[in-house]
Structure 1
């Protein structure tokens, strides 16, 4: 499903230290009507969060310096971010990893490689 011109753009923050992976996801999201914003560092995501509240955020869990779970906890503490859809997109797929994501405030935990249809379904359901 793509968004129609009658629908407002839905901003999706992408936080991934792999620039190529982030850019690829951003391109696909843009083609389907979303407005992606890419950052490659947790600190940049927190700076963004202080200024903007997106519709959703896709977080890599294996970020350096501050992992995606700690980032999620900090994002949830920012005013307005309690209603942002947080989706982990990660290589960590064990039950303990999923539980850790959930405890950090992440709504959905997807394991790479993620079929775009799975991500789009989560985004569409949240609209």
Structure 2
């Protein structure tokens, strides 16, 4: 994976776009590595997870500003991960975007009900991804 989140969140260096941290949760290793590398090149501090359980562990350690979350994950699906994050006050302001191959209206409704802020379908368009990241950043200010 790209940059790791081994240190507690309070000791993480503030780099990239004012320390904006993005957690990418994707069970396809190639897709995960590609997205981590792209976001790193765009100046974000990044961490990755390959399943729902690991996503929650990484979120607690890494304290992301944004979570790009696949829905069809092993251990715990993306909807469950989002609901779990939304129940925790620590993550109340985290911007959660679905990044999934599931793009039907019913899928979009389920992500909204689970607390997602945005829904992107794969293969993700770079402009759409940048718009979501810009909205997440604008919400923080």
TM-score by length of 1: 0.90
- Name the SS for the 1:109 alignment partner: strand
Contact in 2 for aligned 1:73/1:104 (Cα 8 Å): yes
Kindly state the Cα deviation for residue 7 of structure 1 after the two structures are TM-superposed. 4.4
Contact in 2 for aligned 1:42/1:71 (Cα 8 Å): yes
CA distance in 1, matches of 2:31, 2:24: 10
* Equivalent residue number for residue 7 of structure 2: none
Q: Which ranges of structure 1 fall in alignment gaps of 5 or more residues?
A: none
**Structure 1 runs (4+) greater than 3 angstroms displaced:** none
Change in CA separation of 1:34 and 1:68 when aligned onto 2, cut-off 3 Å: same
Q: Which ranges of structure 2 fall in alignment gaps of 5 or more residues?
A: 1-14
Q: Confirm whether residue 44 of structure 1 aligns to residue 54 of structure 2.
A: yes
- Name the SS for the 1:65 alignment partner: coil
* Equivalent residue number for residue 74 of structure 1: 84
- What is the count of residue pairs matched by the alignment? 123
* Equivalent residue number for residue 110 of structure 2: 100
* Equivalent residue number for residue 31 of structure 1: 41
CA distance in 2, matches of 1:117, 1:62: 23
**1:17-69 deviations in Å (ceiling 9; x for gaps):** 11110110111111111111011111111112233321100000011231101
Change in CA separation of 1:6 and 1:82 when aligned onto 2, cut-off 3 Å: closer
